[in-house]
Structure 1
Amino acid sequence: MNRIKKILEVKGMSQTDLAHRLGKSFNTVNLYAANKVQPPLPVLYQIADILKVDVRDLLIPNKM
Structure 2
Amino acid sequence: MAKYSEKSQEKVHEAMHEMKEGKLKSGTGKKVTNPKQAVAIGLSEAREEGAKVPKKKK
Q: TM-score range by the shorter chain?
A: under 0.3
TM-score normalised to structure 1 length: 0.27
Greater gyration radius = 2
More helix by share: 1
TM-score normalised to structure 2 length: 0.28
Higher relative contact order (CA 8 A, sep 6+): 2
